[in-house]
Every structure is written in structure tokens, then in C-alpha cells.
Chain A
């Protein structure tokens, strides 16, 4: 058995390209997921029961179905309704909507973890529910949300390998293509794994750093 890591060396520029596509699609999905998730999470605790129910349904459906199926539904299913999206956009939309559900639960959990007395104290001072949320609850919840949010970002980055199935030349897809040419499975997949690890490690360092910056003792 012999390994030829020079094949990996030659593949590095292509893998790097693939990694940048992975990063782009993941960061756009994170941005979209954050927007959806913050709204969904707030709706989960909103005084209006209609909003609570709606966001509950969204979260349950998304969490209860596979991301791969959601990606296929957006990319292969929507054209039946006359909506044709290019693969990259379809990937971002599917992953963003998916991540939004998880972020929503994280946001709800963070808000609910803040003691009820904080809301009561704020209301007692004459603040409205929204003011209390904005000035008192959310700043405290944000600190607690960061670590699970970091986990979600890392999970999303890894799950982005699923969009390789709709012909987006991200990291995993790039690896596959190189292997069909070189037949160096072990070397190339090792390289792909290493690239994923470097990116997730970077995210976890960034999250750790922000946690430290934001920490106040309770």
C-alpha cells in the first residue's frame, strides 16, 4: 500500500477554491439563518399566541425533516411552481431556512433562561414589554446564546457538504471531482477533512474569543 500525497499537493489550489465556496455559502446561510432565527425565537416568546404558534410550526417542520430533502425541495421542487433558482442561491435559501429553526430555538432558550424577575423589574419601572426585551432581556440572553450559536455555525458549515448534491463546486464536490480524475481517495479526502477542520476550528476560536469579550459576572 502506498500513498501519494503529491496528488493532494497538486490539488490544493482547487480545494482552496472549493473551501472558499463553502465559506461563502455557509456565511450567507448563517446570516440568513440568524435573521430568520432571531425573529422566530422572539415570536416564540411574544405575548401574541398567533405568532407563538406560527413560529412553533415552522420550527417543528424544519427540525423534523432532513436538510438534504429541504435542499432538493428548494432546488428540484420549486421549479414545478415556476421558481427557478441557481444552485448557489437555492443552497443558501435551503440552509438559511434550516438554520433559522435551530437558531430560533437557541434564541428562545436564551431568553427563557433569563430569570423572570428581570422582566418584572423592568415592567415595574414602567418599561413596555418591548423595551424590557430590548434593554434588559436580550443583552443578557445574547451572552448565553453565543456558545450554542457557535455549535450551530459549525454544524451548518459541515452540513454545507450536502449542497454538493446540487452541483455546487464547494469543498466536498471539488474533492469528488479531483478523485474521479486522480483516483487518490485517501489523500484527497484527508485533505478535504483537514480543510473542514481548519474552518470549524476558526469558528470555534472566534466564538470563544467573543464570549470572553462579552462576559460579565452574574
Chain B
């Protein structure tokens, strides 16, 4: 087993004629927390979506835990079982309770018996502080609660890496903290995480490494101190001067 859970080599991605990801090279170690920052439209979310095969790429290679997912014929469903994905818009299943949302994939994909799956789900709901919402439907939950259920749902598959696509961007300010707290706890437990975020405070506090994506290109990469306080690239300086208040 290699030391890299995620390895991206020379990735290029186009939407039609629009070149959205340009020669991306990125490696993430087991246990590492990497934040991807950058302006809207810089390709952050697209990069994340490429990493679990939701977006096809035009050239380059992506390895997840040693498996090349960009080769044809690869069993994507199998690979995705080890990648947790958190969306900006939660994407909880509205016709199921929180508990059913969490147990669906373990039961249907991993064939875990219902009682066992529910036990694990309740444990995860306790972990994200929502045990009492087990039988609530998504419509009855606040945005922050929905996102925490979504995190529990991903964790139920016991992933090796968790990817977060702007997890707090659609939230009311007062519920952001609960979600970030859950994410911090995960990071402290040693979960490998790739986080696309605008939360600079979170990126500084939690991540081991920050990657700045600008117009589809990685232009700066390093520890939070290096990137946030001593940026080398003028575009990074410009971007940070607009967003930072740390």
C-alpha cells in the first residue's frame, strides 16, 4: 500500500471548450487534512467531483488508495465506498428519516443486517449530536442539522477519506459552528480529509496543508502559515486580501 490515499497526475478537465482544470498534480497522505481554497469558478468543486468519479476527465490519472479510477472498466461503486462525499446542498434523501438515510447504503451496499446498521447509525448520530433526530425527516431539520446527518451518512460507510464540497456555504451563520465542530473532531481523530472551503479560520486551524486553486491551476500549496501569512504568488495575496479576516 502506498503512503498516498489520493494521487492526481496531470489532470485536465474541460467543460466543452472551457478548460476548467489545468494540469493538476496533487497528493494527499493518509491522515492528512487538505483545504482547497480559491475564488468561485476556480474549479475547486469540479476537482473534488473528479476525485470520486462524478465528473469525467479528459486527460491525466487519479489514484484512490492505489486504484486508478480513471481507467475504463474500473468498479467506481467499489471505490466510492471508501470515499465519503459531503455536498454544499446536503442531498439528504427527503423520503427517508435521518436513520434511514444513514442505514441505506450500509444495508444495501455492504449488506449489513438492519439491526446492526441501525446501531452504528445511532452511534454516529450521537457523535454528530443529533441522536434525538433519528426519526426526523430532512424537512424537519435545520441546515446545520441536515449537514451533520449527511456527515453521519458518509461515515456509516467507514470511508478512508472524507471530501467536503463547501459544506457550510449553504448554512445559516448560527449553524455553521456545529458543522465545523464535527469536522474538527473528525480531523482530530485522524480522518483523511479534503475540504473545499471559504472558511479561512477553519482552514488555518485544522488543515495540515492548504492548496490555492486559481483559474483551474494550483498556484500555491503549503502549510497554513506559509499560504495564509506568507503567500508567494501575487494572485494568492490578492485573493487572501479579499477574503481574510483572521
**Partner among A125, A136, A143, A216 whose Cβ is within 8 Å of the Cβ of B80:** A125
Smallest CB–CB gap between B21 and chain A, Å?
18
Contact indicator A216/B137 (Cβ below 8 Å): yes
Contact indicator B83/A124 (Cβ below 8 Å): yes
CB-CB under 8 A from A131, the residues of chain B are: 108-109
A124-B85, A126-B77, A126-B157 known; A118 and B91 CB under 8 Å?
Answer: yes
A126-B157, A216-B137 known; A121 and B95 CB under 8 Å?
Answer: no
Contact indicator B93/A123 (Cβ below 8 Å): no
Contact indicator B54/A125 (Cβ below 8 Å): no
Contact indicator B93/A127 (Cβ below 8 Å): no
Distance in angstroms between the alpha carbons of A135 and B154 in the assembled complex: 17
Smallest CB–CB gap between A218 and chain B, Å?
5
Contact indicator A135/B108 (Cβ below 8 Å): yes
26 contacts between A and B (CB under 8 A): A117-B91, A118-B91, A118-B93, A120-B87, A120-B91, A121-B87, A121-B91, A121-B92, A121-B150, A124-B85, A125-B80, A125-B81, A125-B104, A125-B105, A125-B157, A126-B77, A126-B80, A126-B81, A126-B105, A126-B109, A131-B108, A136-B93, A140-B95, A216-B139, A217-B139, A218-B94
Smallest CB–CB gap between A136 and chain B, Å?
5
CB-CB under 8 A from B197, the residues of chain A are: none
Q: Which parts of A113-150 form the interface with B (CB within 8 Å)?
A: 115, 117-118, 120-128, 131, 135-136, 139-140, 143
Q: Which parts of A172-218 form the interface with B (CB within 8 Å)?
A: 216-218
Residues of A within 8 A of B (CB): 115, 117-118, 120-128, 131, 135-136, 139-140, 143, 216-218
Contact indicator B109/A125 (Cβ below 8 Å): yes
Distance in angstroms between the alpha carbons of A117 and B78 in the assembled complex: 20
CB-CB under 8 A from B139, the residues of chain A are: 216-218
Distance in angstroms between the alpha carbons of A125 and B139 in the assembled complex: 21
Let me know if B12 is at the binding interface, CB within 8 A.
no
Q: Which residue of B lies closest to A218 (CB)?
A: B94
Let me know if B89 is at the binding interface, CB within 8 A.
yes
Given contacts A118-B91, A121-B92, 15 further A-B contacts (CB under 8 A): A117-B91, A118-B93, A121-B93, A122-B105, A123-B76, A123-B77, A125-B80, A125-B104, A126-B77, A126-B105, A127-B105, A128-B77, A131-B109, A217-B94, A217-B137
Number of residues in B with C-beta < 8 Å to the partner?
A: 28
Distance in angstroms between the alpha carbons of A122 and B80 in the assembled complex: 10
CB-CB under 8 A from A216, the residues of chain B are: 94-95, 137, 139
Q: Which residue of A lies closest to B88 (CB)?
A: A117
Distance in angstroms between the alpha carbons of A140 and B137 in the assembled complex: 14
Contact indicator A124/B52 (Cβ below 8 Å): yes
Let me know if B44 is at the binding interface, CB within 8 A.
no
CB-CB under 8 A from B137, the residues of chain A are: 216-217
Q: Which residue of A lies closest to B139 (CB)?
A: A217
Let me know if B212 is at the binding interface, CB within 8 A.
no
Contact indicator B77/A127 (Cβ below 8 Å): yes
Smallest CB–CB gap between B73 and chain A, Å?
15
Distance in angstroms between the alpha carbons of A139 and B94 in the assembled complex: 10
Q: Which residue of B lies closest to A121 (CB)?
A: B91
Distance in angstroms between the alpha carbons of A118 and B92 in the assembled complex: 7
CB-CB under 8 A from B85, the residues of chain A are: 120-121, 124
CB-CB under 8 A from A139, the residues of chain B are: 95
Let me know if B153 is at the binding interface, CB within 8 A.
yes
Contact indicator A127/B109 (Cβ below 8 Å): yes
Smallest CB–CB gap between B223 and chain A, Å?
29
1/0 per position for B57-77, CB-CB distance to A under 8 A? Answer: 000000000000000000011
CB-CB under 8 A from B153, the residues of chain A are: 125
Contact indicator A117/B80 (Cβ below 8 Å): no
Among A118, A124, A217, residue most surrounded by chain B Cβ atoms (within 10 Å): A124
Smallest CB–CB gap between B92 and chain A, Å?
8
Distance in angstroms between the alpha carbons of A216 and B81 in the assembled complex: 29
